Amino acid sequence: MKCESLAVWKRACRLSCSIYELTSDIKDYGFRDQITRSGLSIPSNIAEGEERESGKEKARFLNYSQGSAAELITQIFIGIEIGYIRKEEGLLLIQEAREILAIISKLVKLKSK
């Protein structure tokens, strides 16, 4: 897979794993399912986009990944506010998600050309 050479894909995979580990004890299955899905969608859409032929297609899937990253950030904030996620851990995950989002934004610009 082409995505395996991308540092951002690797970071997004690690972020997704961290979300799964952090939320494994949450009994609110709706919340847990939603936050793990958004985390999982980030590297998954990067991977899917990298396998596409055209730059436009690649950019479209990177855009999906951006949306999932924004969704994840929102859900982590909510998780902190309702006491599901410890603030210190949540803020570190938000920082990582923001950095990943910034890298993806740069990739979108490159692939759109």
| Residue 83 DSSP class | T
Domain ranges of the chain: 2-112
Q: What is the chain's Cα-based Rg?
A: 14
pLDDT band at 2 (very low <50, low <70, confident <90, very high): confident
pLDDT above 70 (res 113): no
Task: Specify the CATH superfamily of domain 2-112.
Answer: 23S rRNA-intervening sequence (1.20.1440.60)
- Classify each residue of 50-72 as buried b or exposed e, where b means 16 or more C-beta atoms within 10 Å of its C-beta: bebeeeeebbbbbbbbbebbebb
**Cβ within 8 Å of residue 60, ≥6 positions away:** 49, 52
Other beta carbons within 10 angstroms of residue 10's beta carbon come to: 14
pLDDT above 90 (res 53): no
**pLDDT, mean of residues 21-50:** 97
